[in-house]
Structure 1
Amino acid sequence: MTMISQQKLCARLKSSVFSSGLFLVLSVLILGLLPACPALGQEVAESLLSVPAYQEPQGEEVREILIEGTQRIDDAAVVSYLTFGVGDMATSDKVKASLKELFATGLFVDINLAVQDGVLTVQVVENPIISSVSFEGMDMINQDDLEKEVQLKPRLVYTLPKVQKDVQRILDLYRRSGHFAATVDPQVVTLDQNRVDVVFKIVEGKHTGVRRIQFIGNNHFDDDILRGQIHTQESAWWKFFSSSDFYDPDRVSYDRELLRRFYLDQGYVDFRIVSSVAEMAPDKEDFFLTFTLEEGNRYKFGKISVESEIKGLEGQDLQPELLTLFDTWYNGGKIENTVAKLTAILGDRQYAFVNIVPETEKDKEQKIVDLTYRIKPGERVHIGRIDITGNTRTIDKVIRREILVAEGDPYSISKIKQSEQRIKDLGYFETVKITPAQGVQTDRSDVKVEVKEKATGDISLGAGFSSTDGVLGDFSIRERNFLGKGQDVRFGAMLSGNTKQLDFSFTEPYFLDRDLSAGIDLFHVRTDQQEESNYDEVTTGFSLRLGYPLSEALRQVVSYTLRRDKISDVSFTASRFVRDQEGESTSSFVSQELVYDKRNSRLEPTEG
């Protein structure tokens, strides 16, 4: 190509490229002509470098925020959920994030965000408030149980997901009671002021029982024995007071564990449950439940030892405490009980956080299991803080004085358990739980005492009829935890045709903050004996009581009583003995009572 024609070509290309809307595309193609048109290539390159890089739109700056559609919710609350505010740029990402935050509150059924001329407008439609929650169609389950099960309550915000979750909760409740055919239809009644009533319409259906329970693979125990080990029972007409013959998948899962424990306690170490299958009967009224088992061989205990990794603690010293013995049938329950026993013993020796691991080595040929209780180190610990929670009425001192350990004492598991039982025996709490917690220092264990208060006051009203006294009435009021101080106060009154009686008693269980129970009893009795013995009698007096322990199980109570008796209006027909007693007399006496109590609980004893 001649110089003149080359120059003409370059000039034409230059004119075409820069005048065309396809500048970027053609520029790339023309780069291939750079050797022929160096001047054109240079201009194209400079033009390419001058093209700005792509940038995401920055959005519009927000100068004002308007909230529309709110009724109950404050505008400021809506603004607080936005991810940007006045002065920020309203990008699409921020708008999406704000929508997500607002919907997550569950307060709104619809939300719209729009920015125009610097004004961010937030339009919302609030979810309604629940006015009432009711149930229809239930016979097998009472309303109180349903109300406890559902989460929707009056004055809460209504949302469809909440309703759907409560429907599932109700269905689960019915299935646990054996009603697998139950259906729940939630209906919403719209009221004024953006309120709704929620009505759960329930069709219970017949309860689904267990027609037959059978086992496959049980060569050493027959079906009747295995049925006796599980909670699920076969349905029968006479079991109308029981719910154990209802099919419940959760109960079946627990039955699998019960079978596993039973076989392990009998020595069948290799036992496993292949499957547990529930099949609906053709009439859709009951289930057939089948457990498929692999029993395996029965094993005995071989060598049994205790190995301690704690310095100064010899495993041989604990050997006599073992419940598992050589050449006896393997028993998983005895292993668990031995671990618990050793843990308690070491806990009393201030090893609060030891870890006792039973290690087994199985010999399939000899059918024996060697067992080693390995005690892994845990530092000797002392009591750190003792924290008490849940006592909204009872003062701390009442609870602390029942705890047998104090801050700084060596940690003792047995004393902790005894303390828990002593607090339960007060009768002031519905639940009592004492748990250890790691303290600030590694050698300290905090003790957390959690209680839940219950009512401790009693009011009694009674009425009756007696051939001697006629109609009689009785009234008493008692507070066993007076002012939350653990004091026992009682007032009683009895009224009949011939007798009028008033009595009052007060007991301080820890007099002078010591283990001394002190109390006083006041009484006043007026008796009309004219019809039978021709006299009237009035008795007034008091008793003082003091009790103290002689030993852990033996307690002595000493009391002093002072009383004044007045016999008056003696008829001349009365006996000489009665006439001789006419007038006032004062008497006093001291009594003693010994109480021996070895029960493990005053309220719910199981031994002693």
Structure 2
Amino acid sequence: MKKSGGQSSAFFRKKIETTSFAKRSSVAIFLGISALSVVPSAPAIAQAYSFSSVEIEGTQRIQADTILSYLGISRGETIPAAALNDGYQRLIGSGLFEKVELLPQGNKLIVRVQEYPTVNVVSVEGNRRLKDDVFAPLLKSQPRRVYSPTTAEKDAQTIVEVYQAQGRLAAKVTPRIIRRSNNRVDVVFEVIEGKTVEVERLSFVGNRAFSDGRLRRVLQTKQAGILRQFIRADSYAPDRIEFDKRVLTDFYMSRGYADFKIQNVTSEFSRERDAFFITFNVQEGQQFRFGNITTTSDLEEVNPDDFAAVSKLRSGVVYSPGHIENTVARMERLALQKGLNFIRVEPVITRNPRDLTLDVELVIARGPRVVVERIDIEGNATTLDSVVRSQFRIAEGDPFNPREIREAAERVRALGFFTTANVRPREGSSPDRVVVDVDVEEAPTGSLSFGGAYSLENGFGVNLSYTQKNLLGRGQFLKLSFANTSDTTSFAFKFVEPRFLGRDLAFGVEAFYNESVQASSFFDSREIALRPSLDFPVSENGRLGVRAFVSGSDMYNAKADSSAIITNEAARGQQVGVGFGLTYNYDTRRTGLNPNAGVLLRFSTDVGGFGSDYQYVKSEALLRAQTKVLSDQVTLSATFEGGYLASLNGGTSRFTDRFHLGPSKLRGFSTNGLGPRDLTAVNQDALGGNAYAVARLEAQFPLGLPEEYGLSGGVFLDAGALWGLDDTLSGTIDDGVHIRSSIGASVFWTTPIGPLRLNYAHTLAKEAYDKENEFELTISTSF
């Protein structure tokens, strides 16, 4: 019974007492029972109660009305003992009280409670390997909230799971409380971390097409090696093993092994119980290729030939489910372009075990008329809903397409903004409507780095950079960087809006300032640039970027004994001009039919210098191809690139305009170590060139060392030339085409700080005045 109008009721009299928590006693209920004469021949009568008043004791924060609502007793109502017990259970189940007693005294019921204390501080003790910041966002026990033993136990299990994910299966966590004044407690999670359980050996049984070493590179789990103190991937984690099973299956299926199965995965403890021996028992089956490819439909409005034209499935190509998925997606997009809704393309596969081919019939049919009712996004505390929705090519009211939902889920995960991203459809308000639930868990997207560097050419330097991939939760990219060495100082700024105007249109702005002392050429220089740009798709594999720019350079402090060309160019002073350009990229590395191969084509051209004394056209092109041979053990790659700078107004280029080759393009030579050079000058200054062409051939292969060491080898052959000057000082400078070449070997090392590469190059063809660079340690880049 509730009070009204703020007036006291004669039915309920409250007595509030402060109780101490010296120790936690067990919860008991005392029911007063009137004395009854026991007559053996009389039947048993169930106890019943009727209370005219209720007195509540021990409350501090919780209102009496709240207790009465849980109790559920009305004035003068006769209730059985079972109903009183139900009220007691509701009070206990509310999670508000540490102790509850119900004391019937005639027509009066005394409710004596002891409230749970308030959490003062939550701390984790004994954790040496993991910082408190790792656990803080995961714990439900929070300061200024009511303490709950159940919540504390769940938090302890959460901490244990975090340690188990790190391979510390023996970790133990005990929740404890320290009582403070004013009914407060400190919640302490005492941690015993235990030792890391490593993966001592990772082996395979039943694999014939691929070696153990090749399959280990596919898996996320790694064997413990010399870097076991730094690499967490060599710790045993059951969840990671489940992920590896899916990855291994996808690896085999994409290479034509349609019958591939993982029979089982055994995990055995070592005798010392500090490591696991994991064995994948696989059944590879035979490799299949595509057989006959046909497209059929019973729908009058569908012309199968139109849909077959967009298919990229070809007979004789190694079978892959991904190829079929891509073709089905193309056909369903074509149906939408033709205004055909609810069209589904179902692949029907027929096996030909004799010739190991799979015939594929693509059946175009009308699917169920189901539409998307809405898209619900949960868990994105920072990232805006619009960023996630932009990855869906469907909206509310569009026909529901399960394949598009799966592709959208992959695009959401590929953003890199979330640690987990689950996309699940469910039935909406009616059977013909679907609600798409998107549950995400955000990940850190910003980084601040500060470090030092040393190079033989530039000496010691410092680097400072800030990068944010999801600026203000809008999906925007921002990077600020500063670098300084004894010879150079540079600032750079880059901003990208990937969904400009709500479309697949990337708007970017880049700016940089470089100031350097060219010790080898005996002059100083400054360069500035500002480039806004737009980038958009023009085909499935192609993107086109257009840009405008303002750029300028200044050559000054030229030494008296420098080349006359350098002196003349420095005398022209600061030059600033505007221009525009475009870049076309064609990339099949992710969408090509061969998972082991890919092609990257890039072409760019700039027309600039308007407003300065030199207007020009500057173009560059790059073609790169890669494939894997010998059961994916050896990676072969070839790169061809070149550039050309031409004057539009009959002017002459400057050092800062021309191309310069170094070890990044032609290994074995120093920066500005080849190309036209003024041999009449005291310092034989390198001048750069208006044109260049380079070819690089490379092979990367295992060294036979344990895979967990992360070491592999490579060999390479480079050849190229840099030539062409507008001013040759009356022919005294040789700017002709002279081919340089080098051969060498590389060592690749995958380390916790990133992939490193050590090159040793030996020049095969060079000019007498070229400057060589035999050894080079760089960050390895992937194709």
Shorter-chain TM-score bucket reads 0.5 to 0.7
Q: Which residue in 2 is equivalent to 1:104?
A: 93
Q: Is the 8 A contact 1:391 1:451 kept in 2?
A: yes
Alpha-carbon distance in structure 1 between the residues aligned to 2:154 and 2:391: 44
Alignment of 1:290-301 (within 5 A): 290-301=279-290
Q: 2:182 aligns with which of 193, 199, 211?
A: 193
Alpha-carbon distance in structure 1 between the residues aligned to 2:262 and 2:475: 53
Q: Which residue in 1 is equivalent to 2:195?
A: 206
Alpha-carbon distance in structure 1 between the residues aligned to 2:309 and 2:142: 59
Are 2:265 and 1:276 aligned? yes
Q: Following TM superposition, by how much is the alpha carbon of 1:107 offset from its aligned partner in structure 2, in angstroms? A: 1.5
Aligned pair count reads: 513
Identity within the alignment, %: 31
Alignment of 1:535-550 (within 5 A): none
- After superposition, the C-alpha distances for 1:464-503 in whole angstroms (9 at most, x for unaligned) are xxxxxxxxxxxxxxxxx9999999xxxxxxxxxxxxxxxx
Alpha-carbon distance in structure 2 between the residues aligned to 1:249 and 1:202: 21
Q: Following TM superposition, by how much is the alpha carbon of 1:267 offset from its aligned partner in structure 2, in angstroms? A: 2.5
Secondary structure, counterpart of 1:279 in structure 2: strand
Q: Following TM superposition, by how much is the alpha carbon of 1:131 offset from its aligned partner in structure 2, in angstroms? A: 0.8
Q: Is there any run of 5+ residues in structure 1 with no aligned partner, and where?
A: 1-20, 26-53, 460-480, 488-509, 520-544, 561-588, 601-605
Q: Which residue in 2 is equivalent to 1:151?
A: 140
Q: Is the 8 A contact 2:350 2:360 kept in 1?
A: yes
Secondary structure, counterpart of 2:71 in structure 1: coil
Q: 1:220 aligns with which of 193, 201, 209?
A: 209
Q: Following TM superposition, by how much is the alpha carbon of 1:338 offset from its aligned partner in structure 2, in angstroms? A: 3.0
Q: Which residue in 2 is equivalent to 1:254?
A: 243
Farther off after superposition, 370-379 or 400-409: 400-409
What is the identity, as a one-letter code, of the residue corresponding to 2:241? V
Q: Following TM superposition, by how much is the alpha carbon of 1:128 offset from its aligned partner in structure 2, in angstroms? A: 1.6
- After superposition, the C-alpha distances for 1:550-580 in whole angstroms (9 at most, x for unaligned) are 99888988999xxxxxxxxxxxxxxxxxxxx
Cα 1:88–1:209 change in 2 (3 A) is same
Cα 1:285–1:354 change in 2 (3 A) is farther
Secondary structure, counterpart of 1:228 in structure 2: helix
Q: 1:304 aligns with which of 280, 293, 296?
A: 293
Q: Is the 8 A contact 2:341 2:399 kept in 1?
A: no
Q: Which residue in 2 is equivalent to 1:46?
A: none
Alpha-carbon distance in structure 2 between the residues aligned to 1:550 and 1:251: 37
Q: Following TM superposition, by how much is the alpha carbon of 1:251 offset from its aligned partner in structure 2, in angstroms? A: 0.6
Cα 1:348–1:239 change in 2 (3 A) is farther
Alignment of 1:16-95 (within 5 A): 59-60=49-50, 64-86=53-75, 88-95=77-84
Q: Is the 8 A contact 1:68 1:121 kept in 2?
A: yes
- After superposition, the C-alpha distances for 1:137-180 in whole angstroms (9 at most, x for unaligned) are 22221110021232211122222222221121111111111112
Q: Which residue in 1 is equivalent to 2:151?
A: 162
What is the identity, as a one-letter code, of the residue corresponding to 1:341? R
Q: Following TM superposition, by how much is the alpha carbon of 1:286 offset from its aligned partner in structure 2, in angstroms? A: 0.9
Q: Following TM superposition, by how much is the alpha carbon of 1:291 offset from its aligned partner in structure 2, in angstroms? A: 1.4
What is the identity, as a one-letter code, of the residue corresponding to 2:111? V
Cα 1:174–1:87 change in 2 (3 A) is same
Alignment of 1:59-458 (within 5 A): 59-60=49-50, 64-86=53-75, 88-308=77-297, 312-350=301-339, 354-364=343-353, 367-378=356-367
Q: Is there any run of 5+ residues in structure 2 with no aligned partner, and where?
A: 1-38, 449-469, 477-498, 510-530, 551-575, 588-598, 602-783
What is the identity, as a one-letter code, of the residue corresponding to 1:127? Y
- After superposition, the C-alpha distances for 1:117-148 in whole angstroms (9 at most, x for unaligned) are 44443322211211111122222211100212
Q: Is the 8 A contact 1:137 1:201 kept in 2?
A: yes
Q: Is the 8 A contact 2:391 2:411 kept in 1?
A: no
Q: Following TM superposition, by how much is the alpha carbon of 1:273 offset from its aligned partner in structure 2, in angstroms? A: 1.5
Q: Looking at CA atoms only, which structure, 1 or 2, has the larger radius of gyration?
A: 1
Secondary structure, counterpart of 1:321 in structure 2: coil
Alpha-carbon distance in structure 2 between the residues aligned to 1:550 and 1:263: 34
Q: Is the 8 A contact 2:348 2:360 kept in 1?
A: yes
Alpha-carbon distance in structure 2 between the residues aligned to 1:247 and 1:92: 55
Q: Is the 8 A contact 1:90 1:115 kept in 2?
A: no
Alpha-carbon distance in structure 1 between the residues aligned to 2:89 and 2:277: 48
What is the identity, as a one-letter code, of the residue corresponding to 1:234? Q
Alignment of 1:547-558 (within 5 A): none
- After superposition, the C-alpha distances for 1:374-394 in whole angstroms (9 at most, x for unaligned) are 445348999999999999999
Alpha-carbon distance in structure 1 between the residues aligned to 2:222 and 2:345: 37
Q: Is the 8 A contact 2:163 2:169 kept in 1?
A: yes
Superposition TM-score, scaled by structure 2 size: 0.48
What is the identity, as a one-letter code, of the residue corresponding to 2:246? E
Alpha-carbon distance in structure 2 between the residues aligned to 1:70 and 1:446: 46
Alpha-carbon distance in structure 2 between the residues aligned to 1:169 and 1:235: 26
Farther off after superposition, 367-376 or 284-293: 367-376
What is the identity, as a one-letter code, of the residue corresponding to 1:179? R
Alpha-carbon distance in structure 2 between the residues aligned to 1:340 and 1:261: 19
Q: Is the 8 A contact 1:394 1:484 kept in 2?
A: yes
What is the identity, as a one-letter code, of the residue corresponding to 2:50? E
Cα 1:57–1:205 change in 2 (3 A) is closer
Q: Following TM superposition, by how much is the alpha carbon of 1:239 offset from its aligned partner in structure 2, in angstroms? A: 4.6
More helix by share: 1
Q: Following TM superposition, by how much is the alpha carbon of 1:225 offset from its aligned partner in structure 2, in angstroms? A: 2.1
Alpha-carbon distance in structure 2 between the residues aligned to 1:363 and 1:428: 44
Q: Following TM superposition, by how much is the alpha carbon of 1:202 offset from its aligned partner in structure 2, in angstroms? A: 1.7
More strand by share: 2
Alpha-carbon distance in structure 1 between the residues aligned to 2:278 and 2:197: 12
Q: Is the 8 A contact 2:288 2:319 kept in 1?
A: yes
Q: Is the 8 A contact 2:307 2:334 kept in 1?
A: no
RMSD: 6.9
Cα 1:272–1:399 change in 2 (3 A) is closer
What is the identity, as a one-letter code, of the residue corresponding to 1:320? A
